[in-house]
């Protein structure tokens, strides 16, 4: 047992074990990498920003 709990990624919505948890919200390592490499002009960028906004809102609460 290594505590490999499955979490539901808030970005892709899939169950993953690898990733990071911010304010009880999980982002899988795959999405984290994609976000890092996504250009601001990329079509996917607004989607990531939208998903992350939910985290920022919780941080401010």
Choice between 37 and 61, CB closer to Zn ion:
37
Considering only 7, 11, 26, 51, the residue that binds Zn ion (CB under 5 A) is 11
Residue 10 binds to Zn ion (criterion: CB under 5 A)? no
Please tell me whether residue 41 adopts helix, strand or coil conformation.
coil
Alpha-carbon distance 11 to 42, whole Å? 16
Per rule CB under 5 A, is residue 12 in the interface with Zn ion?
Answer: yes
Q: Given CA atoms 37, 55, 20, 47 in this order, what sign does their dihedral have?
A: negative
Using rule CB under 5 A, residue 22 touches Zn ion:
no
**Options 9, 24, 41, 50; binder of Zn ion; rule CB under 5 A:** 9
């Amino acid at each position: 047992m290594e505590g490999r709990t499955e979490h539901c990624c808030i970005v892709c919505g899939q169950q993953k074990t690898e990733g990071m948890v911010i304010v009880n919200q999980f982002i899988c390592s795959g999405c984290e990498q994609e976000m890092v490499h996504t250009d601001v002009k990329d079509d996917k960028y607004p989607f990531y920003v939208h998903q992350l906004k939910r985290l920022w809102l919780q941080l401010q609460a």
